[in-house]
Amino acid sequence: MQWHDFDFQARTVRFERGIVHGRITPLKNEASRSSLSVPEDVFEALIAWRAVTPYSAVEDWVFASPATRGQRPYWPGQLLKTRIKPVAAAAGFGNIGWHTFRHSFSSWGKEALKSEETKELLRHENLSTTSELYGGLSLEAKRRASERLVQYVKQAAQVESMQLEKLTPVTENVQ
Protein backbone atom coordinates (compact mmCIF):
# COMPACT_ATOMS: atom_id res chain seq x y z
CA MET A 1 0.00 0.00 0.00
CA GLN A 2 1.07 3.53 -0.63
CA TRP A 3 -0.02 6.51 1.42
CA HIS A 4 -2.32 7.73 -1.37
CA ASP A 5 -4.33 4.50 -1.03
CA PHE A 6 -5.71 5.81 2.27
CA ASP A 7 -8.49 8.34 2.63
CA PHE A 8 -7.81 9.68 6.11
CA GLN A 9 -11.03 11.71 6.16
CA ALA A 10 -13.29 8.77 5.30
CA ARG A 11 -11.05 6.25 7.14
CA THR A 12 -10.87 3.90 4.16
CA VAL A 13 -8.19 2.11 2.20
CA ARG A 14 -8.35 1.35 -1.53
CA PHE A 15 -6.55 -1.76 -2.78
CA GLU A 16 -4.99 -1.40 -6.22
CA ARG A 17 -1.91 -3.61 -6.41
CA GLY A 18 -0.30 -6.69 -4.94
CA ILE A 19 3.20 -8.08 -4.67
CA VAL A 20 3.99 -11.55 -5.95
CA HIS A 21 7.57 -12.85 -5.72
CA GLY A 22 8.84 -9.30 -5.35
CA ARG A 23 6.95 -8.00 -8.39
CA ILE A 24 4.19 -5.41 -8.15
CA THR A 25 1.13 -6.78 -9.93
CA PRO A 26 -2.46 -5.75 -10.54
CA LEU A 27 -5.02 -7.45 -8.33
CA LYS A 28 -6.92 -10.47 -9.66
CA ASN A 29 -10.49 -9.24 -9.74
CA GLU A 30 -12.89 -6.42 -8.95
CA ALA A 31 -13.58 -7.74 -5.44
CA SER A 32 -9.85 -7.60 -4.67
CA ARG A 33 -9.72 -3.98 -5.84
CA SER A 34 -12.44 -2.80 -3.49
CA SER A 35 -12.18 -0.26 -0.69
CA LEU A 36 -12.59 -1.11 2.97
CA SER A 37 -13.18 0.94 6.06
CA VAL A 38 -10.27 0.92 8.49
CA PRO A 39 -10.85 0.59 12.24
CA GLU A 40 -10.05 3.68 14.32
CA ASP A 41 -7.20 1.92 16.19
CA VAL A 42 -5.51 1.01 12.92
CA PHE A 43 -5.82 4.55 11.59
CA GLU A 44 -4.28 5.92 14.78
CA ALA A 45 -1.37 3.48 14.40
CA LEU A 46 -0.92 4.49 10.74
CA ILE A 47 -0.90 8.19 11.61
CA ALA A 48 1.70 7.53 14.31
CA TRP A 49 3.79 5.48 11.86
CA ARG A 50 3.60 8.18 9.18
CA ALA A 51 4.89 10.72 11.71
CA VAL A 52 8.09 8.72 12.30
CA THR A 53 8.85 7.00 8.99
CA PRO A 54 11.21 8.81 6.62
CA TYR A 55 8.93 7.64 3.79
CA SER A 56 5.75 9.62 4.40
CA ALA A 57 5.16 11.30 1.03
CA VAL A 58 1.89 10.56 -0.76
CA GLU A 59 3.58 8.27 -3.32
CA ASP A 60 5.73 6.44 -0.73
CA TRP A 61 5.06 2.89 0.37
CA VAL A 62 3.46 2.69 3.80
CA PHE A 63 6.00 0.03 4.79
CA ALA A 64 8.90 1.12 2.62
CA SER A 65 12.09 -0.89 2.80
CA PRO A 66 15.15 1.03 3.99
CA ALA A 67 17.25 -1.43 1.93
CA THR A 68 15.83 0.18 -1.24
CA ARG A 69 15.75 3.68 0.24
CA GLY A 70 11.96 3.52 0.17
CA GLN A 71 11.70 2.76 -3.54
CA ARG A 72 10.07 -0.60 -2.81
CA PRO A 73 8.02 -1.97 0.07
CA TYR A 74 9.41 -4.62 2.38
CA TRP A 75 9.44 -7.95 0.60
CA PRO A 76 6.51 -9.81 2.24
CA GLY A 77 8.35 -13.15 2.38
CA GLN A 78 11.34 -11.61 4.12
CA LEU A 79 9.13 -9.65 6.51
CA LEU A 80 7.29 -12.85 7.39
CA LYS A 81 10.55 -14.77 7.88
CA THR A 82 12.50 -12.22 9.90
CA ARG A 83 9.80 -10.39 11.86
CA ILE A 84 6.48 -12.17 12.09
CA LYS A 85 7.42 -15.87 12.31
CA PRO A 86 9.89 -15.41 15.20
CA VAL A 87 7.29 -13.51 17.23
CA ALA A 88 4.59 -16.07 16.40
CA ALA A 89 6.88 -18.98 17.33
CA ALA A 90 7.85 -17.32 20.63
CA ALA A 91 4.14 -16.84 21.39
CA GLY A 92 3.51 -20.54 20.76
CA PHE A 93 1.64 -20.24 17.45
CA GLY A 94 4.00 -22.54 15.57
CA ASN A 95 4.83 -22.18 11.90
CA ILE A 96 2.54 -19.61 10.28
CA GLY A 97 2.25 -18.05 6.85
CA TRP A 98 0.41 -15.12 5.32
CA HIS A 99 -2.69 -17.23 4.70
CA THR A 100 -2.82 -18.10 8.39
CA PHE A 101 -4.12 -14.56 8.93
CA ARG A 102 -6.79 -14.95 6.23
CA HIS A 103 -7.90 -18.34 7.59
CA SER A 104 -8.12 -16.93 11.12
CA PHE A 105 -10.08 -13.92 9.90
CA SER A 106 -12.44 -16.19 7.96
CA SER A 107 -13.04 -18.41 11.00
CA TRP A 108 -13.73 -15.44 13.26
CA GLY A 109 -15.95 -13.87 10.61
CA LYS A 110 -18.00 -17.04 10.25
CA GLU A 111 -18.69 -16.95 13.97
CA ALA A 112 -19.43 -13.24 14.31
CA LEU A 113 -20.63 -11.98 10.92
CA LYS A 114 -23.02 -12.86 8.14
CA SER A 115 -21.44 -14.91 5.34
CA GLU A 116 -21.75 -12.03 2.87
CA GLU A 117 -19.99 -9.66 5.30
CA THR A 118 -17.08 -12.08 5.75
CA LYS A 119 -16.83 -12.48 1.96
CA GLU A 120 -16.70 -8.71 1.45
CA LEU A 121 -14.13 -8.07 4.17
CA LEU A 122 -11.89 -10.82 2.78
CA ARG A 123 -12.42 -9.21 -0.64
CA HIS A 124 -13.47 -12.51 -2.23
CA GLU A 125 -15.35 -12.41 -5.49
CA ASN A 126 -17.50 -15.46 -4.69
CA LEU A 127 -19.04 -16.66 -1.46
CA SER A 128 -17.90 -20.18 -2.34
CA THR A 129 -14.27 -19.08 -1.93
CA THR A 130 -15.01 -17.89 1.58
CA SER A 131 -17.00 -21.02 2.43
CA GLU A 132 -15.00 -23.76 0.74
CA LEU A 133 -11.37 -22.66 0.73
CA TYR A 134 -11.28 -21.01 4.12
CA GLY A 135 -12.67 -23.79 6.24
CA GLY A 136 -15.64 -24.24 8.47
CA LEU A 137 -16.75 -23.25 11.90
CA SER A 138 -14.94 -24.07 15.12
CA LEU A 139 -16.29 -26.85 17.30
CA GLU A 140 -17.74 -24.31 19.75
CA ALA A 141 -19.49 -22.42 16.94
CA LYS A 142 -20.90 -25.70 15.61
CA ARG A 143 -22.14 -26.51 19.11
CA ARG A 144 -23.91 -23.12 19.38
CA ALA A 145 -25.44 -23.56 15.91
CA SER A 146 -26.61 -27.06 16.80
CA GLU A 147 -28.19 -25.79 20.03
CA ARG A 148 -29.99 -23.02 18.11
CA LEU A 149 -31.33 -25.62 15.65
CA VAL A 150 -32.53 -27.90 18.46
CA GLN A 151 -34.27 -24.93 20.15
CA TYR A 152 -35.94 -24.02 16.85
CA VAL A 153 -37.20 -27.57 16.35
CA LYS A 154 -38.51 -27.75 19.92
CA GLN A 155 -40.32 -24.42 19.57
CA ALA A 156 -41.77 -25.40 16.19
CA ALA A 157 -42.97 -28.72 17.63
CA GLN A 158 -44.57 -26.93 20.57
CA VAL A 159 -46.39 -24.49 18.29
CA GLU A 160 -47.59 -27.33 16.07
CA SER A 161 -48.73 -29.32 19.08
CA MET A 162 -50.75 -26.34 20.38
CA GLN A 163 -52.34 -25.86 16.96
CA LEU A 164 -53.31 -29.53 16.82
CA GLU A 165 -54.88 -29.31 20.27
CA LYS A 166 -57.08 -26.46 19.08
CA LEU A 167 -58.23 -28.47 16.05
CA THR A 168 -58.86 -31.76 17.85
CA PRO A 169 -62.40 -31.92 19.24
CA VAL A 170 -62.65 -32.84 22.87
CA THR A 171 -64.86 -35.88 23.32
CA GLU A 172 -66.45 -36.64 26.64
CA ASN A 173 -66.56 -40.10 27.98
CA VAL A 174 -70.19 -41.03 27.85
CA GLN A 175 -71.12 -44.18 29.67
Of 96, 123, 89, 97, nearest in space to 109 by CA: 123
Mean pLDDT of the chain: 83
Q: What is the pTM of this model?
A: 0.64
**Does 25 fall in a domain?**
yes
**Does 139 fall in a domain?**
no
Distance CA 136, CA 46 (A): 32
- The residues with which 19 forms a beta bridge, in sequence order, are 24
pLDDT band at residue 133, thresholds of 50, 70 and 90? low
The secondary structure of residue 113, as a DSSP letter, is S
**Does 10 fall in a domain?**
yes
Predicted pLDDT of residue 95? 92
Predicted pLDDT of residue 69? 92
**Does 51 fall in a domain?**
yes
**What is the mean pLDDT of the segment spanning 38-42?**
91
How many domains does the chain fold into?
1
**Does 155 fall in a domain?**
no
Q: Which residue has the higher pLDDT, 99 or 59?
A: 59
**Does 154 fall in a domain?**
no
Give the residue numbers spanning the domain of 30: 3-74
Q: Which amino acid is at 20?
A: V
Q: Is the pLDDT of residue 149 over 70?
A: no
Of 16, 11, 17, 62, nearest in space to 37 by CA: 11
**Does 144 fall in a domain?**
no
Q: Is the pLDDT of residue 59 over 90?
A: yes
Residue 136, SS3? coil
**Does 38 fall in a domain?**
yes
Q: Is the pLDDT of residue 68 over 80?
A: yes
